[in-house]
């Protein structure tokens, strides 16, 4: 696979990680603090799994890491909802981050499908 930094999905996931870190910077104390940490970990995990998977020897192995990244994306979406419901993040911020997260999720789904197609069936 190519250098992970050249993959558009990794670039979008990296941008999402930075935006998420900036958005939750002021969350302190209580459940919000725990969710802040969990959200950062799950969001950072998306791009980390793309990077790690891209170094694997086969598309099948890479697809496994992409599926893990998709799971982290879903986990991140859950944490955003909880942070909104607890009043730790405002709805506009959650909507903006969720939109970016959805885009990354769609890109990951497309990548996983492409990686799962046997090489002899590729156009």
Q: Is residue 122 part of a domain?
A: no
Closest CA to 51 of 12, 107, 15, 3: 3
Is 53 within the bounds of a domain?
yes
| Mean pLDDT in residue range 92-113 | 97
pLDDT of residue 71: 98
- Show the domain range for 19: 4-116
Contact 97, 78 (CB under 8 A): no
Q: What is the CATH number of the domain that holds 82?
A: 1.20.1440.60
Kind plus residue range of the DSSP H or E element containing 28: none
**102 within a domain of the structure (yes/no):** yes
Mean pLDDT of 89-107: 97
Is 33 within the bounds of a domain?
A: yes
Question: CA nearest 38: which of 98, 78, 1, 91?
Answer: 78
Report yes or no on 123 lying in a domain.
Answer: no
- pLDDT at position 38: 97
Q: Of the given ranges (27-31, 37-41, 64-68), which has the lowest mean pLDDT?
A: 27-31
- pLDDT in the model for residue 34: 94
**81 touches 94 (CB < 8 A):** yes
Q: What is the pLDDT of residues 65-97, one digit of tens each?
A: 999 999 999 999 999 999 999 999 999 999 999
Q: Six-digit token pair at 25?
A: 């910077």
Which contiguous run of DSSP H or E holds residue 102? helix 91-116
Mean pLDDT of all residues in the chain? Answer: 94
In a domain, 121, yes or no: no
- Does some domain include residue 12? yes
Domain count, the chain: 1
- pLDDT(122) > 60: no
**Cβ atoms of residues 6 and 14 within 8 Å:** no
In this structure, is residue 41 part of a structural domain? yes
């Amino acid at each position: 696979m190519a250098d992970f930094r050249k993959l558009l999905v990794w670039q979008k996931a990296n941008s999402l990680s930075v935006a998420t870190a900036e958005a939750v910077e002021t969350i302190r104390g209580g459940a919000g603090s725990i969710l802040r940490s969990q959200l950062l970990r799950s969001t950072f995990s998306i791009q980390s799994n793309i990077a790690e998977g891209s170094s694997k020897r086969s598309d099948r192995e890479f697809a496994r890491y992409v599926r893990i990244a998709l799971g982290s994306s879903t986990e991140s979406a859950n944490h955003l909802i909880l942070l909104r419901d607890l009043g730790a993040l405002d709805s506009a911020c959650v909507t903006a981050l969720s939109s970016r997260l959805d885009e990354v999720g769609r890109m990951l789904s497309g990548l996983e499908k492409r990686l799962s197609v046997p090489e002899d069936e590729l156009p």
